[in-house]
Amino acid sequence: MFSVPQRADAVLEVNLNAVQANFQTVSAMVGPHVRIAAVVKNDAYGLGIVEITRALVAAGCDLFFVGTLQEAVVLRSSKIGAAVAVFYDEFTRLKKYYQSSLIIPVVNNRSELDTISGAGEEQTYFLNVETGFSRSGLTFDEVRKIYLSGTFKRHPPAVVLSHLACSDRVADAMNALQRNRFQAISDLLKPARCSLAASAGIWLGKAFHFDIVRVGSALYGLNNAGIQPNPLQPVVKLQAKILDIRNVSKGEAVGYGATFRTVRNSRIAILGIGYKHGLPRASGNKISVRVAGYLAPLVGRMSMECTAVDVTDVPEAVCVPAVSVELLGENFTPNDLAAAAHAYAPEVLMRLAAGCTRRYLHEPSAPQSVKN
């Protein structure tokens, strides 16, 4: 029996220094009196929960939100001592795991709150309240009834939080409506700390910051609110190797459906990246890559494992098989790719991270690790 070396045609490089820099940028924006919690759910948007969290701890972050209890346990097992809260994983059924690992549950309904009440005063929890997202959390009427029962006096939440539905649209009236609803609940409960804004909500102003902002996509360089000039550093660089160079005569079709035909005798490079790696199929005929600094357009519909690029105008000396070309970087970001493909930037990032080989860059050292 023998093992075959793994081929890494498509590589997503993650710059941990850029993640730290984005954390510091957000910190400067909200000021010293607002705590920054990092959202590292779903494997830190696919970029690696342990690697990202360790970089953020080194940058000064001391509170993390994850999606599931399993992710929280991974952080605990990695000896990360910061506070960890779980957005969605029922405390009612899994209470003993939360308590044994000192993990904070986010309470999303009355049943979970009743379990908290039965767990004793020592159980720290965060309370999620519904202000207009209609996804999870207690409504104002539920909060008021529970408040009148004395439950919150006996077992107060450490943090009350909610989530904005339209924070990426600064002028949307929904933002003010949700803030007013959140403020009403906060005035009633008077919790130790409040948290309303996530990444895009930071740019809505200090009235939305409260005590804690929960930052996810912005840490990973995603400018979902479209703020210009963009204050965030790009975190990922996507590269793919040239597998082959083909000479294609004028008028010939390239790819499925013959959506592209050459208008001259052309050189077509075949890249080792396709939609199986997470590259949006809709980006065919819409974006360009960089080959040694030269722009070259994607042509035709991409395949599962490969994509065609017109390199006719790229010098042959720098465009040969095994050379890596850049699809994402400082000049073309996941937000740009998402816009070209009419997709959502966090989804694009997560699909690429899942489909490509990940490498970590932390200056001044070389890339640190490889993970599929």
Q: Which residues are catalytic?
A: 41, 256
DSSP 128: E
The two tokens of residue 204 are: 């809505």
In the three-class reduction of DSSP (H, G, I as helix; E, B as strand; rest coil), residue 261 is classed as strand
The total of other beta-carbon atoms located within 10 Å of residue 144's CB is 15
Locate 321 and state its tokens. Answer: 């098989």
For 152, counting Cβ atoms within 10 Å of its Cβ (0-12 exposed, 13-18 middle, 19+ buried), the class is: buried
Q: Residue 149: how many CB atoms within 10 A of its CB?
A: 11
Instruction: Report phi then psi at 137, rounded to 5.
Output: 105, 160
The residues, any chain, with a CB within 8 Å of residue 22's CB and separated by 6 or more, are 218, 219, 220, 221, 232, 233, 235
Gap between the Cα atoms of 22 and 7, Å rounded: 32
